[in-house]
Amino acid sequence: MSHGVTIAGTGSYLPEKILTNHDLSEFVETSDEWIVTRTGIKERRIAAEGENTSHLAAKASLQALEQSGIPAADIELIIVATITPDTFTPATACYVQEQIGASRAVAFDISAACSGFLYAMKIAKRLIESGAFANALIIGAEKLSAFVDWSDRSTCVLFGDGAGAAVLRPSAEGEGKIIATDIGTDGKQTSILSIPGGGSACPTTPQNVGESLATFSMSGREVFKHAVTRMKNSANSVIERAGLQPEDISLVIPHQANLRIIDAIADRLAVPNDRVFVNLHKYGNTSAAAIAIALDEAHREGKIQRGDKIVMVAFGAGLTWASAAIEW
């Protein structure tokens, strides 16, 4: 008899190189004070040359596998959520499969920006519940530094590199499980946050190569407005379906884009700030990796205990949004 799907292990990896706000202020007109006040970010990690998204993903995955006690050879499904794949094709998940030695696994990528890890969680959960696969590895991994215009102060201060992973498997009786998930999309808002170039709509050519089209373009205020409403509604839908009251929730793990957005969400969900996990001061916005890294850190720091009810909520380019309510 099925008891749902549980998270058997988590892992994360952050590149060694730290880029502080002060470092940034040496090559764009900005200041630590502006960045901290507007976003809450103090520093971010930058992948080394030759350190690709798949390398970050593989390192996070090996940690998650070790914690789960499930060998790579027993993983049947790998989903990498990323908007900064090593290559357009093959999928980053294929490189990860090879690097971690999960040779039996079906491996593919999904693109849902910052909501990607929770999209992957929903897909993997459903595939496990259907009986198609037993053990799955879901990963959020990004090398956003490769797609940032380092001369544009309105975006370059926001992003960082990193990866997080989780191993999912069928839950045994008495174990925790993913209780409810929600994912959604609003394709009318594709223009407010995108990497407009480099794809088939606008391939990089010798003529446009200097125009930074394959870097982030964002209307920050528009994104901010949508983010708060969408995240609140999405989180509330899983909280309601899980039958939770605000006081039952021991930890909210929101997408790590901006401290002001996180505070606004906490306020609207009526969850006190000390039950909202924040690490964006260290890593900035790592898109699909952010919730995965935060989940692993919260877990390893002892902030998540057996039986705890946690809620994760994200939004990103698309626009996309996603939530999950979990009993650990």
Q: Which residues bind ligand ACO (CB under 6 A)?
A: 30, 34-35, 38-39, 113-114, 153-154, 157, 193, 218, 220-221, 223-224, 227, 257-258, 285, 287, 316-317
In angstroms, give the least distance from the CB of 139 to ligand ACO: 17
Cβ proximity to ligand ACO: between 221 and 306 the closer is: 221
Contact 62, 27 (CB under 8 A): no
Cβ proximity to ligand ACO: between 38 and 303 the closer is: 38
Assess whether 114 carries a catalytic annotation.
Answer: yes
The DSSP string of 119-142 is HHHHHHHHHHHTTS-S-EEEEEEE
- Integer Cα distance of 301 and 323 in angstroms: 22
Q: Which one is catalytic: 255, 258, 279, 299?
A: 255
In angstroms, give the least distance from the CB of 324 to ligand ACO: 18
Contact 259, 35 (CB under 8 A): no
In angstroms, give the least distance from the CB of 258 to ligand ACO: 4
Cβ proximity to ligand ACO: between 36 and 202 the closer is: 36
Residue nearest to ligand ACO (CB): 220
Q: Which one is catalytic: 52, 114, 226, 279?
A: 114
Query: Which residues, at least 6 apart from 265, have a Cβ–Cβ distance to it below 8 Å?
Result: 228, 231, 232, 235, 252, 254, 276, 313
Q: How far is CA 174 from CA 1, 136, 144, 303, in A?
A: 13, 20, 40, 21
Question: What DSSP designation does 327 have?
Answer: E
Assess whether 285 carries a catalytic annotation.
Answer: yes
Q: Which one is catalytic: 21, 135, 279, 285?
A: 285
Cβ proximity to ligand ACO: between 154 and 185 the closer is: 154
Give the type of residue at 65: L
Active site residues: 114, 255, 285
